[in-house]
Amino acid sequence: MKRVALLISGGGSNMLRLVESMVGDHPARPVLVASNDPEASGLAKAAALGVPVASVDHRNFGKDRAAFEAALLQPILAAEPDIICLAGFMRVLTPSFVRQFEGRMLNIHPSLLPKYPGLHTHQRALDAGDIEAGCSVHEVTAELDAGPLLGQARVPVLQGDTAEALAARVLVMEHKLYPQVLRRYASGDRSPVYLS
Ligand code: GAR
């Protein structure tokens, strides 16, 4: 049974879908939900499901990313995860943090990578006149949003879409894609999942 730690920054809807998926014959179980924001509402939701939670407020560390990550590392290492899922975790991790978990850390990103790494993905897709958008799950490497692809789901861009409307349509697919990818990944299969 693989042990999974999940990192969040906010509401944690993807985290919840992942936690809820890890039951029965699933090859993994959640062992920790951690956040860089003690106010992240996802923490209480995870705790209500019986998952241990931890938070390390990045604001206490100013610009010292290494010190923040050293603090974040403590609950993570204590939970002894085999796999780390970034699920709406909005801090960029340093290469030295990533290196410790390379090959066992996943992220979900709200664009069809390699398009639109970084922020404001939906507005950028609209501004570019794209006819489809989507989300990607990938392995985390030192380069932002650029690791090997593990899954992708597509949605149409509709006439009159706003970034908010598009984000909501993509999020529905995120909730389908990430649990499918994690199940496959935890069973040792790294071939990508494609949904549309
Ligand atoms: C999701 O749309 C996720 O793809 C995005 O943040 C949202 C978190 O929602 N992640 C990123 O933009 C990472 N760069 P959630 O907290 O409800 O899962």
Burial of 100 (0-12, 13-18, 19+ CB in 10 A): middle
Is residue 108 in contact with ligand 1, taking CB distance under 6 Å?
Answer: yes
pLDDT digits (tens, 9 = 90+) for 21-64: 999 999 999 999 999 999 999 999 999 999 999 999 999 999 99
Query: In which band, very low, low, confident or very high, does the pLDDT at 138 lie, cut at 50, 70 and 90?
Result: very high
151: amino acid identity, one letter: G
Helix (H, G, I), strand (E, B) or coil at 106: strand
Average pLDDT over residues 124-133: 98
Q: Do 1-101 and 110-134+150-196 have matching folds?
A: yes
Q: Give the N- to C-terminal CA distance of the chain in Å, as an integer.
A: 30
Is there a catalytic annotation at residue 58? Answer: no
Instruction: Determine the pLDDT at residue 129.
Output: 98
Does residue 179 contact residue 172 with C-beta atoms inside 8 Å? Answer: no
Instruction: Determine the pLDDT at residue 160.
Output: 96
Q: Where are the domains of the chain?
A: 1-101, 110-134+150-196
pLDDT digits (tens, 9 = 90+) for 66-121: 999 999 999 999 999 999 999 999 999 999 999 999 999 999 999 999 999 999 99
> Pairing state of beta strands 28-35 and 53-55?
parallel
Read off the tokens for 30: 């959640």
Query: In which band, very low, low, confident or very high, does the pLDDT at 172 lie, cut at 50, 70 and 90?
Result: very high
d(CA 94, CA 144): 10
Average pLDDT over residues 10-29: 98
65 assigned binding-site residue: yes
Q: Which CATH architecture has domain 110-134+150-196?
A: 3-Layer(aba) Sandwich (3.40)
Is residue 118 in contact with ligand 1, taking CB distance under 6 Å?
Answer: no
Residue listed under structure tokens 């489809």: 132
72: amino acid identity, one letter: L
d(CA 167, CA 173): 10
| The one catalytic residue among 109, 122, 138, 175 | 109
- Helices 163-186 and 13-21, axial angle in degrees (round to 10): 30
Query: What is the interface pTM, i.e. ipTM, of the complex?
Result: 0.98
CATH 3.40.50.300, domain 1-101, yes or no: no
36 assigned binding-site residue: no
d(CA 109, CA 135): 6
Residue listed under structure tokens 């923490």: 43
Does residue 176 contact residue 164 with C-beta atoms inside 8 Å? Answer: no
- If you measure from the C-alpha of residue 110 to the centroid of ligand 1, how many angstroms do you get, rounded to a whole number? 7
Task: Determine if the pTM surpasses 0.95.
Answer: yes
